[in-house]
Amino acid sequence: MIDYKRRSEHIKKLYEQQNALDESIAHQMMSSEKIAFATSQWRMMWRKFIRNRIAVIGGIVILLFYLTALLANFVAPYTLKQRMTAYSLLSPQRIYFFAEGRFQPFVYGLKGSRDPKTLMRIYVPDPEKRIPIRFFIQGEPYKLMGLFPASTRLFGVEEGIVSLLGTDGQGRDMFSRIIIGSQISLTIGLVGVALSLIIGAFLGVSSGYFGGWVDNLIQRVIEIVRSFPPIPLWMALTAAIPPHWPPLRVYFTITIILSLIGWTWLARQLRGKVLALREEDFIMAARLAGASDGWIIFRHLIPATLSHIIVISTLAMPAMILAESALSFLGLGLRPPLTSWGVLLKQAQNIQVLLLYPWLMIPGFFVAISILAFNFLGDGLRDAADPYTV
């Protein structure tokens, strides 16, 4: 009779010995040299990414933009609708940083008058009157992040006006409006990409994984959607939003409309990835081990394509931000009281207005900078997502 107990103990012992041996070998290799295969894939990607300076700068700019958007009400000296009618269409003010050799930022007070010929309102700085810019000053009350009531603002003046980027026709501070408008401009891309990602990842991965008629059907749908030129299709769809809808509903409808086309691109990219992965040994192994389709998709395919999903979504952000600004600029997207960079740009459509008040164009530069930063970041991430090539 075989002594099963003794035998199993023997096996256990052998197993433990082998484990100890493996560990010591691994230790030796790690200590002798930090070899590439000992570092995780994500760490390699991070290392490669951090070496790309322009991409890192892009990432920092984006972080700053989103941080500012989060704390918009604190950063902006005025509220969105605060009108200073005495200072309408004021050009950006010059800020002086030093008074009597000491760091004390200030602006000059303004004397309003009218141009004798054109009767246009002009503002003359009054060198006698220095208005100091105070930090952490008490201003109009607001809710920080929509939750905490507060009234402290990053900077402001006690009298007169401080307007970094000028004011619009109703005397509203453009700097404050741009900062607060960034909340909508920047989140619409985020929400839009998230929505496209949900649809695109689900359909793209299933299309690549199942193949056959599922793939065929999904590909035909993508083909039809993509046979429309995007801006005209978006224009036609946004024109259908009833004018009386509440702002929040308009906002979400627009994100849905934007992701209605956006998902096709994500789905195509992911399908390609999955088609390649499907033939890999680890998927076959999982299938032979009896894993279900859902398990394989969610535990193997999606994690394996995660780095690509991140790259693709970063690269999809500029298109969303661009589309929203273009549509709002044309008057079809968001509309007041919702304020985004595109909505702000709508007042700068006319050449006469532009020539007299060129600072109304400034929101457009914010659109360009955010898109540039996203492109730099996305490009760096794309290179980093493939860390095995030098």
> Based on the number of CB atoms within 10 Å of its own CB, is 315 exposed (0-12), middle (13-18) or buried (19 or more)?
buried
Residue 347 tokens, joined: 């007042």
Radius of gyration of the chain (CA): 29
For another protein (CB under 8 A), the number of binding residues is 42
Q: State the nearest-atom distance from the C-beta of 364 to another protein, in Å.
A: 4
**Which residue number, 157 or 385, has a Cβ lying nearer to another protein?**
385
Q: Which of 61, 122, 310, 361 binds another protein (CB under 8 A)?
A: 361
184 binds another protein (CB under 8 A): no
| Nearest CA among 183, 185, 177, 181 for reference residue 78 | 177
Q: State the nearest-atom distance from the C-beta of 263 to another protein, in Å.
A: 16
**Which residue number, 162 or 311, has a Cβ lying nearer to another protein?**
311
Q: Which of 229, 295, 298, 386 binds another protein (CB under 8 A)?
A: 229
Q: State the nearest-atom distance from the C-beta of 231 to another protein, in Å.
A: 3
15 binds another protein (CB under 8 A): no
376 binds another protein (CB under 8 A): yes
Q: State the nearest-atom distance from the C-beta of 365 to another protein, in Å.
A: 8
Q: State the nearest-atom distance from the C-beta of 197 to another protein, in Å.
A: 22
Distance CA 191, CA 253 (A): 11
Distance CA 138, CA 265 (A): 48
| Owner of token pair 């279900």 | 292
The set of residues, in sequence order, having a beta carbon less than 8 Å from that of 361 and lying 6+ positions away, is 345, 348, 354
- What part of residues 80-119 is at the interface with another protein (CB under 8 A)? none
348 binds another protein (CB under 8 A): yes
Q: Which of 231, 296, 302, 310 binds another protein (CB under 8 A)?
A: 231
In Å, what is the CA distance from 56 to each residue of 43, 63, 365, 367?
A: 16, 10, 21, 19
**Which residue number, 160 or 380, has a Cβ lying nearer to another protein?**
380
Distance CA 264, CA 261 (A): 6
- What part of residues 304-333 is at the interface with another protein (CB under 8 A)? 318, 322, 325-326, 329-332
368 binds another protein (CB under 8 A): yes
Q: Of the ranges 26-34, 93-101, 169-177, 369-377, which one interacts with another protein (CB under 8 A)?
A: 369-377
> Based on the number of CB atoms within 10 Å of its own CB, is 350 exposed (0-12), middle (13-18) or buried (19 or more)?
exposed
- The secondary structure of residue 79, as a DSSP letter, is -
188 binds another protein (CB under 8 A): no
Q: How many residues does the chain have?
A: 390
Q: How many CB atoms lie within 10 A of CB 163?
A: 25
Q: Which of 367, 377, 381, 385 binds another protein (CB under 8 A)?
A: 367
355 binds another protein (CB under 8 A): yes
